[in-house]
A and B are shown apart, each in its own frame.
Chain A
Amino acid sequence: MFSRCLAHVLACVTVLTGAAHAAPRPLKAPAGMVMVGPGVYRPLYPASPAERLVSVRRFYLDARPVTNGEFLTFVRAQPEWRRDRAPRLLADDGYLTHWAAADALGRDVRSASPVTNVSWFAAKAYCAARSARLPSEREWELAALASENARDASSDPAFVARILDFYSRPALAASLRDVGSGKPNLYGVYDLHGLVWEWIYDFSASLVAVDSREKGEADRNRFCGATGASAQTPSDYAAFMRVAFRSSLEAAYTTSRLGFRCAADLEETP
């Protein structure tokens, strides 16, 4: 009995150390990123009954949303992403309209506030320029489950209420506050709640029914989703709102409250 346990432990250790050795990079987070996970996430609308619980591998995530200042640097380096050059197919008419000029923020836009009015294509290009990528839905949601002191705060009423309060607050001022001015969550990530919506890589896979009360047949669930009745946590209104928000988007869309942050794989993928 003891030897079997020991064997397990040894095996694990071997796997872990083996993985670490196999990775060409040491486990050091890229600049601005922190390590998140591993963990388990319960999707609001499971893609299949077998996916009610989804395990998420460790990954790196930007500690803060990308700022106007950072995005300006990117646009200057890759001028094809200036608002006057990016094709409308990749970024709609709202793209970076809050900036004073195609290559300048102007007085009213704070450099350290999160960049908004960016399309999925633009966000993706920005992350690619940093050798990073957009986080997947499961990654973003896993990071967003954590409060200041718990990895999974989804059953903490105060935490849930705080998130919902943000969503029910009006979009008042034109200027958003600076990123990173609140408290980080347990992973060291700031502003997942309470500042802006964020693009995720697979936003269109999270499509629920555009009519969100529809009781879709099983084969339509994947695309059209279903009602609150089929959701795993029908009282998680904040999750409903995120899913609804993502469902309303197309990749070229921009909105005044939609920004993003980047993610990266922990190990080098072959």
Chain B
Amino acid sequence: MSKDFRRTIGVLRASAIALALVASACEQKPDVGAMQRHFTEHPAPPPDVTSVPSDDRIMAVLTSPPNVPPPTNRTKPARVVVKLTVKEVVMPMADGVQYSYWTFGGTVPGSFIRVRQGDVVEFHLQNDATSTMPHNIDLHAVTGPGGGAASSFTAPGHASQFTFRALNPGLFVYHCATAPVPMHVANGMYGLILVEPPGGLPPVDREYYVMEGDFYTKGKYHAKGLQAFDMDKGIEERPTYVVFNGAEGSLLGDKSLKAYVGDSVRIFFGVGGPNLTSSFHVIGEVFDRVYMEGGTHYQENVQTTMVPAGGSAILDFRVQVPGAYALVDHSLFRAFNQGAVGTLKVSGPEDKLLYSGKQEDSLAEKEQAPQAPVLVDSAPPSTLTRDERIAAGKTLFASTCSACHQATGSGLPGSIPPLAGSDFLVKNDKERVIGVVLNGLSGPVKVNGTSFNSVMPTWNHLTNDELANVLTYVLNSWGNPGGEVAPAEIAKVRGSGAI
């Protein structure tokens, strides 16, 4: 026993020495000279960076994307406490697709942190007890070795704390820097920290938080189930998904960003990577101001801004015309085939002087008449006969619905219910059928005696006319009972006469 005890003490002493060695070898003392050089080389240092804030501590307000904490509204630097917990969680990456994300605060991107230049930030990083991996954090806002990574390296179930001074204002990326770093980042370990300049940023009506990231899964795009990380695709920079805020559809439908006509909107935009840069663009908008790379100066009247991996930009613009505006990576295959699309929905009164909507629709002068009747949004519903509706619906069905339900309406065995000779269309009233197309359908459903359990997305972005056409086409095809659906009936189920 006593021998064991001596051995234990010996080991303790040895570990203490080892730890001391590690500490002295790994941690560098703050280089005061460098700090002074920093300020002499930067001619206009904000005077309050050099003053020490009082001992009172302020808890930082952290928010989940797409929300942003309120401005600090402080005239002086303060001691700010940030508490962030790393969690490994399974969340959807797309419909029916799950992924095991590693997160700062349970979301991708991680919680938004907002401080002011000169603040002394007391940073607490906790690694949840259920984590498999050790993690740490490198904040690009930190002036110091590793951006805090060395001081925040934390085993599962443990916590670390370090303090830094927010010397430079700007919008900065933070991320995990634990080996293998690219994998930790590819699993969603990034977020943004805003260091406000003295006086803050110009006030706006709405602020949003959006980050783009690339993801690498074993299965192909939209392959269902829990998807594992694919290291080979990561190394080859062949992402399966390129998405905003961690998942396809995280800024679509009910989760779209919202604004009202006349609002000034600010997007704090960052790119987590790990590999791709973003050509960020909002379709139908021009950025009034872009604080390039998240820095101090802005460019004006920008269409598309380039944001590097591990970089950011602050985008200010005013919305004047109601409608849906798509946020895209203008490397467009990413938007169309890998998920990099979101929506900003602007509501409010139209101003026809700013944007008229379609004013005329006619045949192009030298074109032959098209095979099928052309349907336009503005066409009054009454001008279409049932047969014209069927023809227009056929075209829309072929381009939109047939991918799943098949051109023959047969569906796919085991996953997509048939529309051909479908007893669902006979048994249910029109309103129910319209509701399914508008609102989508998930969960078990029985069609022609076979049970299906998959997900039909919502199609409420189609106009009432389009939906009326496609449903009329379906009702009059493949042995279905026939009939007609009018745009007014769609509008009634939709709950408003809009669109």
Q: Report which A residues bind B (CB closer than 8 A).
A: 89-90, 94, 121, 125, 128, 161, 164-165, 167-172, 197, 204-205, 207-214, 220, 223-224, 228, 235, 237, 240-241, 243-245, 247-251, 253-258
Contact = CB atoms under 8 A, between A and B. Distances in A.
B192 to A, nearest CB: 20
Given A204-B18, A224-B26, A255 B100 contact: no
Contacts of B21: 223
B4 interface: yes
B22 to A, nearest CB: 5
A214 B178 contact: no
Interface stretch (B150-158, B357-365, B416-424, B432-440): B150-158
B20 to A, nearest CB: 10
A72 B179 CA distance: 34
B150 A209 contact: yes
B180 A241 contact: yes
Given A212-B178, A228-B179, A251-B11, A241 B26 contact: no
B131 to A, nearest CB: 7
B340 interface: no
B8 A121 contact: yes
Contacts of B134: 244-245, 247-248
12 contacts: A167-B132, A168-B187, A205-B18, A210-B146, A212-B149, A220-B25, A223-B22, A228-B179, A240-B179, A240-B180, A249-B155, A255-B129
B130 interface: yes
B64 interface: no
A107 B1 CA distance: 34
Interface residues of B, number: 45
Contacts of B458: none
B146 A211 contact: yes
Given A208-B179, A240-B180, A258-B156, 11 more contacts: A164-B228, A171-B130, A210-B26, A211-B138, A211-B146, A211-B149, A228-B179, A243-B179, A248-B178, A251-B11, A255-B131
B151 to A, nearest CB: 8
B26 A209 contact: yes
Contact of A213 (B129, B154, B181): B181
Nearest to B21: A223
A170 B90 contact: yes
B153 A128 contact: no
A172 B138 CA distance: 27
B89 interface: yes
Contacts of A253: 155, 157-158
B231 interface: yes
B180 A171 contact: no
B145 interface: yes
A22 to B, nearest CB: 26
A248 B155 contact: yes
Contacts of B321: none
B15 interface: yes
A168 B218 CA distance: 11
B25 A211 contact: no
Nearest to A249: B155
Contact of A256 (B26, B157, B187): B157
B150 A211 contact: yes
Given A94-B129, A223-B26, A210 B153 contact: yes
B183 interface: yes
Interface string B151-180: 101111110000000000000000001111
A217 B164 CA distance: 25
A235 B231 contact: yes
B133 A241 contact: yes
B18 A224 contact: no
Nearest to B138: A211
B149 A235 contact: no
B35 interface: no
Contact of B153 (A168, A170, A213, A248): A248
Given A211-B138, A220-B25, A170 B228 contact: no
Nearest to A243: B179
Given A170-B88, A210-B149, A90 B138 contact: no
A228 B187 CA distance: 18
A214 B22 CA distance: 14
B88 A212 contact: no
Given A223-B25, A235-B235, A255 B179 contact: no
A240 B187 CA distance: 16
B221 interface: no
B478 interface: no
A244 B102 CA distance: 16
A228 B100 contact: no
Contacts of B151: 210
Contacts of B187: 168
Contacts of B469: none
A212 B181 CA distance: 8
A208 B179 CA distance: 9
A44 B88 CA distance: 26
A146 B192 CA distance: 42
Contact of B179 (A168, A169, A241, A258): A241
A223 B145 CA distance: 16
Q: Which of A208, A235, A257 has the most CB of B within 10 A?
A: A257
B133 A244 contact: yes
A164 B4 CA distance: 38
Contacts of B22: 207, 223-224
A121 B156 CA distance: 18
Contact of A168 (B100, B131, B145, B181): B100
Nearest to A204: B18
A247 B129 CA distance: 17
B229 interface: yes
B136 interface: yes
Contacts of A244: 133-134, 178-180
Contact of A170 (B25, B132, B150, B183): B132
Interface string B120-149: 000000000111111010100000011001
A245 B133 contact: yes
A111 B177 CA distance: 37
Contacts of A241: 133, 179-180
